[in-house]
Chain A
Amino acid sequence: MKEHLPILILTLPFVAVPFIAGLSFTSTWMNRLFVLIVFTAGWVFGWETLEGVLSNGSWFYNLGGWATPWGIELVLTPFTIFLTGWIWLIGMSTWFYGLPYWILQRKESVKEGLFNAFLFLLLGSVLGFLFLRDLLSLYFCLETALAAATGLIVVGQAKNWRDGFYLFLWGSAGASLLLLSAFFLYASTGTLNLDDLLSQIFISKNAAVVLTAGLLSILAFVVPLIFPLPAFFFRLVSQTPSFVMGLLSSILARSLVYVLFILLFFTLNLPGFHQPFWVLGLEYLLIPLLFWNFVLAFRQNDFQQLTAFISVAQLGFLFVGFLLGNKSALTGSLLELLNQLLIVAGLFFIAGTLRATPGVLPLSRLAGLGRQRPWTGLALVVFAASLVGIPPTCGSLGKWYLIQGALERNNWILFALVAAIVLFNFFYFAKLIVLIYEHQNAAATESSSIASKIPILILASGIMMLGVFHQTVIDRFIEPALPKAFQNISIPNVPFLGKQVE
């Protein structure tokens, strides 16, 4: 059975969906028990797979024994398994965090069951993004993820039907562009397998198709990437329960950024291809556009809206690394990716503890939080410190590598942008510390439940652990995920013309 672990991990959440949905109509406690069993099984499978990929390297699995490029291939690298672990943890934290919401406030067992079913559907689709190396399968996973996200929003808060509809409609319209991208790539190469595409593109050297496919793929992911930007999803951010927002903002956008990383650096990476000036200009425009959301974030009076802006703004750091494209910058991007997964979920989870029901959450509710609820306050400081880049948090290392990448490239524009944003965020970090520790009269008087405290503290500890053990993370997980040119692979000393080569 061990040889089929890759497909077992991927199908586990999908298989669980109908059972959980069915149990929601019978017994709430059976439903919860089954959810716990599935999460535990996921951890067991994940651990076994991690051991396998760490000892034997990346795991290539052909679905149904059909070899590529005809069959569908699953590729499990140390980084994807590591990322899966964090995504699974956020999924489990969301479920645990949401329990009091369903038990105390809603008392709607069917909705709770359906929520759990959509949660696993989303987790399964996200795992599909990470493992599947086939363009058509990626499209199916994208659509399934959008449907699951919409389901979570609607089940979480019944007022959100219209906003959920928009997310699904525009997300599906974007996903259709991925099909167009697949068509152009297939037309030029005759394959849909991502690894095979790279070799076929290398043979055909069709730069026009590479450019078209790249642009269409980025456009295909725009809607999930900008979720939950309040400029488009204002009402949804206010009305949706914080744990739903935390889950979606954290794992949906970040997993798609990883797909973009694979597409841009492994599939469409045509040697010698130079981007046209206008494409480069657009890419340079994208970074300040994303970073501008930090400015908008700190102009908000509502903590949940602020977090939503920050969630999108942070994507700027990831794209800075992609734009620089050297080893340090890509290492920084992948570290930031892990960091952002935890920060975004953690900030939304904290927002959820400050308001009993969905609605407005004025920043004044944070006043004196550190004195009234020391653990929640401390976790907020950790998330904010990592967002700003204060050592030893994971965010500090991610930004350090990005800055190093910019310096290695002598790219002073991106260096100045990252440095300016770090300084700008530091100013607001200082203001936040004053707000949560200086005020004697706490605004948030009621204490939060243990179900919400535990996930927040686990995520905050995760950020600290990733920061402290960053060298291990880089050596064992991130470096093998980089393009081969950036990996420390020893080159065999082959005699050349009878002479040893040093």
Chain B
Amino acid sequence: MGLENLGFGKEENGLILNTLLIVRILILLMALIAFYRLFASTHLAKKITAWAVFQVSIVLLWLSASSHYHGQENPIPQVVAFLIGIFSIGILGIMLIFALGVLRRQGSLQIENNDTKRPA
């Protein structure tokens, strides 16, 4: 399974990553690509998707770990992942509402050049 301890030791407090190394590398790659696309995309819907993927990778990161407190496994990482997941759905909804507002006023979700900057 490729258990790796990031904390004090399995018997003590800390976090244990209990997924395969390749899975963690994939999560990292997903996060990096999403973060890059967040900057590079010129379409608001693509930017929202990039943020959502980045957020999912963080949720997966929390899900890939289990926590030990004085030798006892506790579900805090899973609880945190669940809370972030639910909250992120709400944030995504708000983003979509704002994007719809932009679409209604602008007629397109495409980003104009320097559209937040000082007009020429």
A interface vs B, CB < 8 Å? Answer: 136, 139-140, 143, 147, 150, 154, 158-159, 161-166, 168-169, 172-173, 176, 179-180, 182-183, 186-192, 200, 204, 230-236
Verify A230–B105 contact, CB threshold 8 A. no
Q: Mark B7-30, 1 if CB is under 8 A from A, else 0.
A: 110000111000000000000000
Total A-B residue contacts, Cβ distance less than 8 Å: 104
- Please, how many angstroms separate the alpha-carbon atoms of A162 and B47 in the complex? 13
Among the listed A140, A165, A188, A231, which residue makes an inter-chain contact with B98, where contact means beta carbons less than 8 Å apart?
A: A165
Return the chain A residue nearest B16 by Cβ. Answer: A187
Verify A140–B87 contact, CB threshold 8 A. yes
B95 within 8 A of A: yes
Verify A136–B80 contact, CB threshold 8 A. yes
- 6 of the cross-chain contacts (CB-CB < 8 Å) are A161-B102, A165-B98, A172-B91, A176-B55, A187-B15, A234-B117
Q: A136-B80, A189-B13, A234-B118 are in contact. Are A173 and B51 (CB under 8 A)?
A: yes
Verify A190–B117 contact, CB threshold 8 A. no
Q: A159-B105, A162-B115, A164-B98 are in contact. Are A187 and B55 (CB under 8 A)?
A: no
Verify B58–A233 contact, CB threshold 8 A. no
- Please, how many angstroms separate the alpha-carbon atoms of A168 and B102 in the complex? 13
Verify A147–B94 contact, CB threshold 8 A. yes
Contact residues of B: prevailing secondary structure: helix
Q: How many residues of B contact A (CB 8 A)?
A: 42
Among the listed B61, B102, B104, which residue makes an inter-chain contact with A183, where contact means beta carbons less than 8 Å apart?
A: B61
Nearest Cβ in chain A — how far from B14, in angstroms?
5
Nearest Cβ in chain A — how far from B104, in angstroms?
8
- Please, how many angstroms separate the alpha-carbon atoms of A101 and B52 in the complex? 37
Q: A169-B51, A173-B54 are in contact. Are A162 and B91 (CB under 8 A)?
A: no
Nearest Cβ in chain A — how far from B56, in angstroms?
10
Verify B116–A165 contact, CB threshold 8 A. no
Verify B98–A154 contact, CB threshold 8 A. yes
Q: A169-B95, A187-B65, A234-B116 are in contact. Are A180 and B101 (CB under 8 A)?
A: no
Verify B51–A190 contact, CB threshold 8 A. no
Return the chain A residue nearest B61 by Cβ. Answer: A183
Verify B94–A169 contact, CB threshold 8 A. no
Verify B116–A163 contact, CB threshold 8 A. yes
Q: A173-B38, A189-B13 are in contact. Are A165 and B117 (CB under 8 A)?
A: no
Verify A172–B95 contact, CB threshold 8 A. yes
Of residues A154, A163, A169, which shows the largest number of chain B Cβ atoms within 10 Å of its Cβ?
A169
Chain B contacts with A in 43-94, Cβ cutoff 8 A = 44, 47-48, 51, 54-55, 58, 61-62, 65, 67-69, 76-77, 80, 83-84, 87, 91, 94
B33 within 8 A of A: no
Q: A162-B106, A169-B51, A173-B54 are in contact. Are A136 and B83 (CB under 8 A)?
A: yes
Verify B116–A190 contact, CB threshold 8 A. no
Residues of A within 8 A of B77 (CB): 186
Among the listed B69, B87, B94, which residue makes an inter-chain contact with A168, where contact means beta carbons less than 8 Å apart?
A: B94
Given contacts A188-B15, A190-B69, A230-B118, 6 further A-B contacts (CB under 8 A): A161-B106, A164-B101, A169-B95, A179-B58, A189-B7, A190-B14
Verify A179–B84 contact, CB threshold 8 A. yes
Residues of A within 8 A of B84 (CB): 139, 179
Return the chain B residue nearest A154 by Cβ. Answer: B101
Among the listed B51, B58, B105, B118, which residue makes an inter-chain contact with A162, where contact means beta carbons less than 8 Å apart?
A: B105
Verify B8–A172 contact, CB threshold 8 A. no
Residues of B within 8 A of A236 (CB): 116
B6 within 8 A of A: yes
Verify A190–B67 contact, CB threshold 8 A. yes
Residues of B within 8 A of A162 (CB): 102, 105-106, 115-116
